[in-house]
Amino acid sequence: RLSMSTVSPDKRRKMESALNQLKKHTVVVADTGDFNAIDEYKPQDATTNPSLILAAAKMPAYQHLLDQAINYGIAKGGTEEEQVAHTMDKLFVTFGLEILKKVPGRVSTEVDARLSFDKDEMVAKALGLIALYKEAGISKERVLIKLSSTWEGIQAGKELEEKHGVHCNMTLLFSFAQAVACAEAKVTLISPFVGRILDWYKENTDRKSYEPHEDPGVLSVTKIYNYYKKFGYTTVVMGASFRNTGQVKALTGCDLLTISPGLLAELSQDHSSITEMLNVEKAKACDLEKIHLDEKDFRWQHNEDRMAVEKLSDGIRKFAADAIKLETMIKEKMLDVKNGQ
């Protein structure tokens, strides 16, 4: 048996999984509501969204959490609508609490996408979620509030960070304009999407395949990372929405990457050698100019990017649709509980 010290560094890398190599350069985050699926990959943080919570809430393994949330909602009283709203909030937080037992870092919990154009309502909903975490003994330092990266969402993030010390994760981020506005709002973290950008290019252009280094989603996150690092913004970059491990590897060195359990599994079985693609030194040497965006500029620049406009609105619609599905599921279960079934 060879002791590791006698093995050449190259050989050792070949023995090491791509996932473990990635962790040397990037904070690995699990993107799922199915927290039983993340243990073996030892991620630092985890992220959820309405679609992931809906998927997990349908699994038999998590029915007790749904029941807990429903009992809480009923106990809160009020109209059926209010009870359902309380149940939804409690369900999102309950999943977050379970996830926090599995990860040492933070969990991201998303604000209802139907509030994406209402700054004050997003702030209120976020503070309500943080209060539920606090009731359960979890400080706001371990929670990231996810907000849609609309102009209103970004301003909600700014207010939550400045006035309330609540850390935000700006999601559904597809355009460079969105990234610049988030940096200027001094939010904690952004989640620029990779896979959904690739999806759009495959659907809307003649080109159907891309090598990772020329993947439009990878290029988008790389540019955003370089811009943030070149100009010393404190907001960190967490690439999200991956379709394959090639995209993940092409962003090695990004501050964080949030990855589905399926792709984490692939990376843990993959023993090819991976190299750091993004770093601060490279970013500093980049040819990028600093820009400032007020609301009018933001809306114009974002609107110039057809892909981003379509993917942001599509993302909001999809999360909203899944929130409605979840509410319908809750209403049906609530009736059963009230009818003593």
Residue 7 included in any domain: no
Those residues with Cβ within 8 angstroms of residue 328's Cβ, 6 or more apart along the chain or in another chain:
none
Strand spans (E) along the chain = 27-31, 45-47, 107-110, 143-148, 168-173, 189-192, 236-239, 256-259
Q: What is the pLDDT of residue 186?
A: 98
Q: pLDDT tens for residues 236-282? A: 999 999 999 999 999 999 999 999 999 999 999 999 999 999 999 99
Residue 11 included in any domain: no
Query: Tokens 């110039």 identify what position?
Result: 304
Residue 4 included in any domain: no
What is the span of the domain harbouring residue 256? 16-336
Which position has the higher pLDDT, 328 or 340?
328
Those residues with Cβ within 8 angstroms of residue 54's Cβ, 6 or more apart along the chain or in another chain:
33, 322, 323, 325, 326, 329
Mean per-residue pLDDT of the chain: 96
Which helix H or strand E contains 9, and what residues bound it? helix 9-15
Residue 5 included in any domain: no
Partnered with residue 173 across adjacent β-strands are 192
Provide the number of structural domains found in the chain. 1
Q: What is the pLDDT of residue 4?
A: 54
Instruction: Show the tokens assigned to 2.
Output: 């060879």
Active site residue 90: no
Q: pLDDT tens for residues 78-90? A: 999 999 999 999 9
Residue among 125, 140, 146, 311 flagged as catalytic: 146
Q: pLDDT tens for residues 222-245? A: 999 999 999 999 999 999 999 999
Residues 134-163 have a mean pLDDT of 99
What is the residue-wise DSSP string for 148-216? Answer: E-SHHHHHHHHHHHHHH---EEEEEE-SHHHHHHHHHTT-SEEEEBSHHHHHHHHHHSS-----GGG-H
User: CATH no. for residue 49?
Assistant: 3.20.20.70
Residue 31 scores a pLDDT above 70 = yes
Partnered with residue 168 across adjacent β-strands are 145
Partnered with residue 31 across adjacent β-strands are 47
Residue 330 scores a pLDDT above 70 = yes
Q: Let me know if 112 is exposed, middle or buried by CB neighbors in 10 A (0-12, 13-18, 19+).
A: buried
Residues 161-187 have a mean pLDDT of 99
Residue 230 included in any domain: yes
User: Structure pTM?
Assistant: 0.95
Q: pLDDT tens for residues 99-120? A: 999 999 999 999 999 999 999 9
Instruction: Show the tokens assigned to 12.
Output: 């050792």
Q: How far apart are CA 341 and CA 338, in angstroms?
A: 8
